[in-house]
Structure 1
Amino acid sequence: MKALNRRSFLQTSIAATAALSLGTGAARAEEARLRMAWWGSQDRAKRTLGVAELYKQKMPDVAIVGEAVTGDAYWTKLSTQMAGRNISDIFQLEPGTISDYSRRGATMALDQFIPKPLDVEAFGTKVLDLCKVDGKIQGIGLGLNSFSMFYDTAVFAKAGLPAPTPETTWAQFADLSVELTKAVGKDQFWGAPYGARYASVLDVWLRQRGKALFTEEGPLGFGVEDAKEWYAYWEDLRGRNGTVTADVQTQEQNIIETNPLSRGSSAMGFTYSNQLVGYQAVMPNKLGITMVPSAGGGAPSGHYYRPALIWSIGATSKNGEAAAAFINFFVNDIEAGKILGVERGVPMSPKVREAILPQLNETERASVEYVNYLADKVSAYPPPVPKGSQEFDRNVVRRTSDELAFGNLTLDQAAHQLVEQGNALIQPK
């Protein structure tokens, strides 16, 4: 499938939602009109709209107007809506943003809607707690996922090199990346991305060492020496020509279509397990999935289960109950589950998970099998991330690694900048 640019993607999804919201005629005055917003690929938009259309058939008095916004533009728009007290009735968050936005007053606590119209008790307390912030449920997880590494199986086969496995250590990953670059021998192609840019991968790397991105109280959970070691690893690998160059890596806008793997610039890529479906949809070669490289020596894997994505209800919504009813349908209806598959993660609902398993294609099954494989390798879910975590990822982690890769900062300067700016930005709870 050809990757879409932002304009064509938005035109496609918005045109579809406009037709959906109007149905066969103008919306009646008594209809509950729900605005729904998310980010993601065209495949995600198609599935989301499919469920909304199915719901419209069963609940004709509810009009749903959806909008997909890509990359960082989504968060810019959400901030604008928050300032204008005009947040969508239903909007998408993820584990790294739900605590931040709920504490900024963007979300409506959902406890009031459980068990009716939100019948989610079958998910289990631990699963519901994944979206709990300060004692209140601020969203409903749409599926389970975890950190992962994807790789192009055809590239490995042609190069005659072994694919990475859960036992692959960071040292072995580095050597493999360098060997891949040499074996492929193609201009503007490397074995790996410049992973210093990914806060999620840094989180795994730190947890393998008994640390974490953030402490439970709020400030960073690591120091300058940790940052130096992290940056030294990636700078050494970049120097060995094992990773993409700075100009290639900085083109990534945190969406599938701009990742070095999907753009054909690297043989491997770091992302979340539920995105296997989306990546495979835009890539011609079969993808493999495995864990982020390990520290070896019996160290923790650094992985944990996450709610892949989350539906929250806008704090300013005048249709909270109707929005909760739609979310209930989205996560519990079997036909809806068949439309959604595992693109947003392995379904939280046991009955939906069981119902869709027989219909999953090879890629979708691989996503489920990976999540199941991690069962005895994951650690406990960490506390909600502190306020400022999103800005830390976008404005500190990414920017600092870019400046380092372009040679505008020394390794020592980058390490100090990451920690000092991070601690200045992150607000204790």
Structure 2
Amino acid sequence: MLKWKRSLTVLVATALMGSLAACGGGGDTKNTSEPTSTTAATTVASNEPVKLRIMWWGAQERHEATLAALDLYTKNNPNVTFEPEYSGMDGYLDKLSTQAAANNAPDIIQLDPGWTPDWAARNQLAELTPEVDVSKIDPKLLAGGQSAGKQYAVPLGSVAFGMIYDKAAMDKLGIANPANGWSWDDFFALAKESKAKLPSGQYFTKDYAGDYFAYSAFQYSKGKGTVITEDGKFNIDQATFLEWTTNFEELRNAEIVPPADVNSSDKEFDPQMDLMAAGKILLRLSFSNNYGSWDSLKPGAYALVTMPRATESGGWLKPSMYLAVSAGSKKIDEARKFINWFVNDPEAGKILKTLRGLPVNKDNATALESSMSDTDKVGMALLRATEKDGQTWTAGAGGWTNYIDKDWPYVRDQLSFKKITPQQAFDQLKEASTAYEK
């Protein structure tokens, strides 16, 4: 089954590459040559009417702020209007990849940092500099959007990876609140202690046994490095993985995490389907910039805490997401002009606030910190607590997007439904990695 699914992934990728080659992108996932410049194919920005398609994901609050920013840009540049496409995270990459394969990708696209190396290496993105000013952005944040020394995507924010918990519910049940600096031992102990106080149908946290990002934090904290190395090698530490998955197996058997059907029904930020918003779990993974979205679902109920640690920190700071221009766009110059404004303009910064993390433009970030709302300050507190000794985030080698987005969820679901053992899960992930290793 796993082999078939990987073969299907290869077929989809092959179709995608063929379509891109037909529109002048060229190359495949193993092409390590310098991406072809698209500058010559662009149209010079002018006062002619321009409609830019732009695509992003997020919660409702981010949608509303982004739409307000687009309105302001059109007010300042009346010849430019937008065709926005926005949704939640679920299905976003599949939709975007399908559009790219059909040579119909939006002009401007929001990308997860984990996807960006693949898109740049496959010549799917237009070069952004020097038209986009990156002089006030931390070089460490820029690195993930570069390929062959050129900038193909710019970061939109800096965020911390941690956890969010339902403080109001835990206080009502008499369950101790986690505190910054807590350990994974504390995490699993608190989960087991909560069992006696949880009513039927309520659970401590999601079943994260096969979750790529949760496990990455655990392996980081054990000092075992990244799951995928910078040079594109499988690096799941077997003993650490078995410790992690066995711990969750115990929680699953004790009904401290949701059964598989409930676990798989979760849709983050959906008022009805999000397991924490629905009161079915007490704690889940979260980025610092998402606190406002959680708080809008249940004002005053939630609190943030650092990712648990072991010998090292488990959490990290990272670019929240990137913004890029599709290489096939016929409006590349106007799209670059917009991205430069979106990232650097002070008025745009005031509208967008911290909904994509702390702004990467240092001046905008400073201005925003001085006038932050109480909600924003909660997210900032997690960022500051994490940056003290947080791990250095890396996108890793390109070419592993499907491994993270397809192979891991496949194994995750098998673990949750008790169809495989922790050892079998490790073996499947190791076998699947051979299709991606360079």
Does residue 426 in structure 1 map to residue 420 in structure 2? no
**1:379 aligned residue:** 391
Shift in Å, 1:254: 5.6
- Partners of 1:312 and 1:329 in 2: CA distance: 13
Structure 1's 100 and 335: CA in aligned 2 closer, same or farther, altered over 3 A? same
TM-score (norm 2): 0.84
SS in 1 for 2:258: coil
> Size of the alignment, in residue pairs?
391
Question: Of 88, 94, 98, which aligns to 2:106?
Answer: 88
**1:156 aligned residue:** 170
**2:12 aligned residue:** none
Structure 1's 130 and 372: CA in aligned 2 closer, same or farther, altered over 3 A? farther
**1:353 aligned residue:** 365
**Which residues in structure 2 correspond to 1:14-413 (within 5 Å)?**
30-111=48-129, 114=130, 116=131, 118-183=132-197, 185-209=198-222, 210-253=224-267, 258-295=273-310, 299-382=311-394, 384-389=396-401, 391-413=402-424
- Partners of 2:390 and 2:240 in 1: CA distance: 22
Percent identity for Structure 1 against Structure 2: 27
Post-superposition Cα deviations, 1:154-186, rounded to whole Å, max 9, x if no partner, equal: 012112232112322212211212333422x32
- 1:303 counterpart letter in structure 2: G
Q: Is residue 267–residue 275 contact of structure 2 (8 Å, CA) maintained in 1? A: no
Post-superposition Cα deviations, 1:100-139, rounded to whole Å, max 9, x if no partner, equal: 222233211223xx2x3x2220113233224223422221
SS in 2 for 1:305: strand
Post-superposition Cα deviations, 1:29-71, rounded to whole Å, max 9, x if no partner, equal: 9212211001111111111100000000000011111111333
- Partners of 2:85 and 2:181 in 1: CA distance: 41
Q: Is residue 269–residue 277 contact of structure 2 (8 Å, CA) maintained in 1? A: no
Quick check: 277-286 or 243-252, which moved more? 277-286
Q: Is residue 220–residue 391 contact of structure 2 (8 Å, CA) maintained in 1? A: no
Structure 1's 66 and 147: CA in aligned 2 closer, same or farther, altered over 3 A? same
Shift in Å, 1:98: 0.7
- Partners of 1:259 and 1:206 in 2: CA distance: 27
Structure 1's 385 and 255: CA in aligned 2 closer, same or farther, altered over 3 A? farther
Structure 1's 77 and 133: CA in aligned 2 closer, same or farther, altered over 3 A? same
Post-superposition Cα deviations, 1:357-403, rounded to whole Å, max 9, x if no partner, equal: 243222211111221222221233325343133x2223222221221
**2:14 aligned residue:** none
- Partners of 1:245 and 1:383 in 2: CA distance: 32
Quick check: 122-131 or 359-368, which moved more? 122-131
- Partners of 1:301 and 1:377 in 2: CA distance: 7
Shift in Å, 1:414: 1.7
Quick check: 89-98 or 281-290, which moved more? 281-290
Structure 1's 30 and 82: CA in aligned 2 closer, same or farther, altered over 3 A? same
- Partners of 2:231 and 2:50 in 1: CA distance: 41
**2:37 aligned residue:** none
SS in 1 for 2:256: coil
Quick check: 358-367 or 54-63, which moved more? 358-367
- 1:374 counterpart letter in structure 2: T
Q: Is residue 178–residue 241 contact of structure 1 (8 Å, CA) maintained in 2? A: no
Gaps of 5+ in 2: 1-45
Post-superposition Cα deviations, 1:308-340, rounded to whole Å, max 9, x if no partner, equal: 011111011121121111111112222211211
- Partners of 2:333 and 2:395 in 1: CA distance: 28
Runs of 4+ residues deviating >3 angstroms: 223-226, 253-259
Quick check: 29-38 or 335-344, which moved more? 29-38
- Partners of 2:88 and 2:394 in 1: CA distance: 27
